Amino acid sequence: MVRDMTEDLFETVVAAHHAEIHRYLVRATSRPGDADDLSQETFVRAYKAYRSLPPDANVRAWLFAIATNLCRNHYRAEGRRRQAMAAAAAGASERGPFWPEGEAIASQASARIDLIVAALPFKQRLAFTLRKVHELDYEAIAASLQCSGESARAHVFQALRKIRRGLDDLDVVHTERQP
Amino acid sequence: MNPENATCRDIEPDLVAVAAGEAGASAARGVERHVAVCRDCRAELARYRVLEGMVADLRRATVAGADPTLARAELESRLADIRSRMVAYGIFSSPLGKLLIARSELGVSMIRYIDSERSARSYLARLAGDEAVEDKAAVEGTYRDLLDYLSARSTRLSWPLDLRWAGSDFQRRVLAATAELPYGAITSYSGIARRIGAPASVRAVAQALRHNPIPIAIPCHRVIGSSGDLTGYAGSKIGLKEQLLSLEGVPVGLRAHRIERGNMYVRFESETEYCVPTCGSLSEMPMAELTLFGSRRHAEAVGLTPCSSCRPDLHPLSA
């Protein structure tokens, strides 16, 4: 019957992964409101497909792939979002070089990186977040982004190089930003 | 790093890889050799290492405005809502042909004889929309019960039923009254109409049973015309009605599509005894007031005792 196990198991899936997927989506979309919607949508879709998921599937990687896919559609639908983000980033008060010196507060550094990441091109932003924040392997990232493992890795490295430059000067990221 | 220097430009990806701890052995050696002689790239490597440290902090850092609590609560209520509307279905073969079996959180919600799987799926999609999912495993148990029933290994289908797809309250009342008919017992459409307190609504009862969403479990095959004609079943599948009745020991004339009252034991209204059909004036009574049984066993299975005047136990009907 429908309630058979599926329900209880899925409760566990929500409990185990919702917060992380939500955090990923906040970074991926740069908007907590969108992350609220997309995280719900991710789990609603997952719920409907859960019963046909092979028992040995990596549920976490699968959820990230669903979330990323929703993000992609969302991103396409919201072409203007990036311009808004870029404008917000450009107007940010932290200008010039930023490297944590000695006692720099980690949260400041994080905020600065988040700002740079938000301005990265879509695939680099997601590849970076999946790899460096959520520590997925390149194979899972490739599956999420629908590319090869090699290009998933290249996206992460591109992102790191841009972040590294962005820490010298935030403007670099924006001038290098793809149209 | 010196952007004028080709070696420095080429080695940058490897610097990133080394800092990230992902460089292969040969790339790592190349970086080692290069930074030994290039001060700029040495500094660059150091910065990438600092960056890796900052990135590691990201994992622990909270993201501004990223409280998932509200989203989680909304998600839970959306899931509960979907769950309540969701039906799992499977298509199975049975002695009665292909069957679609669907069930929801509340119980079995549909059994349908199907001619083509595509039409069955589209029918279900019309009823349940996106919330219908094919999941044979989820209805496998129901199917097994049904197979036991159809091969006479059991005489009860004690499933909870989900009647949300019944069209109206009237139809629900008809279905509920029909569900009360015991195994091996027969009544007429007028009999059901009487039982639900709407004796004039015989046609409406027939209509309601025509659209029975859960045949077999709601035994509309036990309801026949007042004249003894089987009338219809599931469109033009009257043969299935005969099959189901024969299974229950009801003598059905082969291809006659009718039941002879003279071959059936009789219960008058809610008497506690059952009789032979010729007892007293029973043969004159309208079908609406009677329940017929194909065998004494099934009459006694519902607690009826043999009539003390006609003594069906001493003078059983010949088989």
The CATH number of the domain holding residue A105 is 1.10.10.10
Contact status, residue A151 vs residue A81, Cβ threshold 8 Å: no
- pLDDT for B42: 93
Q: If 0-12 CB within 10 Å is exposed, 13-18 middle and 19+ buried, where does residue B8 land? A: middle
- Tens of pLDDT along B92-117? 999 999 999 999 888 999 999 988 87
SS (H, E, C) chain B: CCCCCHHHHHHHHHHHHHHHCCCCHHHHHHHHHHHHHCHHHHHHHHHHHHHHHHHHHHHHCCCCCCCCHHHHHHHHHHHHHHHHHCEEEEEEEECCEEEEEEEECCCEEEEEECCCHHHHHHHHHHHHHHHEEECHHHHHHHHHHHHHHHCCCCCCCCCCECCCCCCCHHHHHHHHHHHCCCCCEEEEHHHHHHHCCCCCCHHHHHHHHHCCCCECCECHHHEECCCCECCCECCECHHHHHHHHHHCCCCCCCCCCECCHHHCEEEECCCCEEECCCCCCHHHCCHHHEEEECCHHHHHHCCCEECCCCCCCCCCCCC
- pLDDT for A105: 56
> Are A105 and A138 part of one and the same domain?
yes
The class (CATH top level) of B169-306 is: mainly alpha
Query: Could you say which of A54, A78, A102 is where a domain stops?
Result: A78
> Are A166 and A142 part of one and the same domain?
yes
pTM, entire model: 0.68
Is there a domain that residue A19 lies in? yes
Instruction: List residues of B with catalytic annotation.
Output: 220
**Residue with the larger pLDDT of the pair A28 and B194:** B194
DSSP 8-state secondary structure symbol assigned to residue A79: T
Is there a domain that residue A34 lies in? yes
- Tens of pLDDT along B249-308? 999 876 778 899 999 999 999 999 999 999 999 999 999 999 999 999 999 999 999 999
Give strand pairing partners of B258. B229
Backbone conformation region of residue B152, classed left if phi is above 0, alpha if psi is from -120 to 50, else beta: left
For residue A106, what are the domain limits?
93-179
Contact between A133 and B86 using a beta-carbon 8 Å cutoff: no
Chain A residues near residue B87 by CB distance under 8 angstroms: 2
Query: Could you say which of A46, A78, A110 is where a domain stops?
Result: A78
Residue A41 to chain B, least CA–CA distance (Å): 8
User: Which residues in chain A come in under a pLDDT of 50?
Assistant: 1-5, 91, 93-94, 103, 171-179
Q: For residue A31, which phi and psi values (nearest 5 degrees)?
A: -140, 115
Q: What is the mean pLDDT of residues B170-195?
A: 96
Query: Could you say which of A78, A104, A124 is where a domain stops?
Result: A78
Give strand pairing partners of B87. B104, B132
Gap between the Cα atoms of B78 and B291, Å rounded: 47
Comparing A107-116, B7-16, B29-38, which segment has the lowest mean pLDDT?
A: A107-116
> Are A6 and A61 part of one and the same domain?
yes
Q: Please tell me whether the interface predicted TM-score (ipTM) of this complex is above 0.85.
A: no
> Are A61 and A105 part of one and the same domain?
no
- Which sequence spans correspond to the domains of chain B? 6-60, 80-150, 169-306
Strand ranges of the sheet holding B265-268, from the earlier edge strand across to the other edge = B223-224, B185-188, B290-293, B265-268
- The distance of Cα A138 from the centroid of its chain, to the nearest Å, equals 14
Is there a domain that residue A134 lies in? yes
Chain B residues near residue A67 by CB distance under 8 angstroms: none
A167 touches B: beta carbon within 8 Å? yes
Q: For residue B251, which phi and psi values (nearest 5 degrees)?
A: -70, 110
Give strand pairing partners of A82. none
B286 to each of A175, B191, B226, B282, how far by Cα in Å?
93, 9, 8, 9
Is there a domain that residue A63 lies in? yes
Chain B residues near residue A3 by CB distance under 8 angstroms: 105
- pLDDT for B130: 66
**Mean pLDDT, chain B, whole residue set:** 90
Chain A residues near residue B76 by CB distance under 8 angstroms: 14
Gap between the Cα atoms of A112 and B214, Å rounded: 62
A41 touches B: beta carbon within 8 Å? no
Backbone conformation region of residue A146, classed left if phi is above 0, alpha if psi is from -120 to 50, else beta: left
**Mean pLDDT, chain A, whole residue set:** 80
> Are A64 and A3 part of one and the same domain?
yes
> Are A97 and A177 part of one and the same domain?
yes
Structure-token match 């007892």, residue found: B279
**Residue with the larger pLDDT of the pair B85 and B28:** B28
Q: B232 pLDDT exceeds 70?
A: yes
User: Which of B15, B63, B101 is the best substitution to test chain A (most A C-beta atoms within 10 A)?
Assistant: B63
A37 to each of A22, A49, A105, B74, how far by Cα in Å?
9, 18, 31, 9
> Are A17 and A46 part of one and the same domain?
yes
Residue B48 to chain A, least CA–CA distance (Å): 7
A53 touches B: beta carbon within 8 Å? no
Contact status, residue A147 vs residue A118, Cβ threshold 8 Å: no
Split at pLDDT 50, 70, 90, the class of B15 is very high
Pairing of strands B305-306, B273-274: parallel
Is there a domain that residue A85 lies in? no
Percent share of chain B, pLDDT over 90 = 66
> Are A109 and A62 part of one and the same domain?
no
**B61: closest CA among A109, A154, A75?**
A109
Residue A1 to chain B, least CA–CA distance (Å): 4
> Are A71 and A11 part of one and the same domain?
yes
When CB atoms are compared, the residue of A1, A22, A164 closest to B51 is A164
Residue A170 to chain B, least CA–CA distance (Å): 15
Question: What CATH number matches the domain at B80-150, 3.40.47.10, 3.30.160.70, 1.10.3210.10, 2.40.160.10?
Answer: 3.30.160.70
> Are A106 and A69 part of one and the same domain?
no
Q: What is the mean pLDDT of residues B191-212?
A: 95
> Are A171 and A99 part of one and the same domain?
yes
Contact between A27 and B48 using a beta-carbon 8 Å cutoff: no
A101 touches B: beta carbon within 8 Å? no
Q: B28 pLDDT exceeds 90?
A: yes
B30 to each of A164, B12, B96, B252, how far by Cα in Å?
21, 11, 75, 91
> Are A60 and A102 part of one and the same domain?
no
* Number of structural domains in chain A: 2
- pLDDT for A4: 47
How many residues are there in chain A?
A: 179
CATH number of domain containing A65: 1.10.1740.10
Contact between A39 and B76 using a beta-carbon 8 Å cutoff: no
Contact between B66 and A114 using a beta-carbon 8 Å cutoff: no
Contact between B66 and A35 using a beta-carbon 8 Å cutoff: yes
A47 touches B: beta carbon within 8 Å? yes
Q: B178 pLDDT exceeds 70?
A: yes
Residue B169, amino acid: D
Contact status, residue A10 vs residue A17, Cβ threshold 8 Å: no
Residue A143 to chain B, least CA–CA distance (Å): 20
Structure-token match 């069209």, residue found: B167
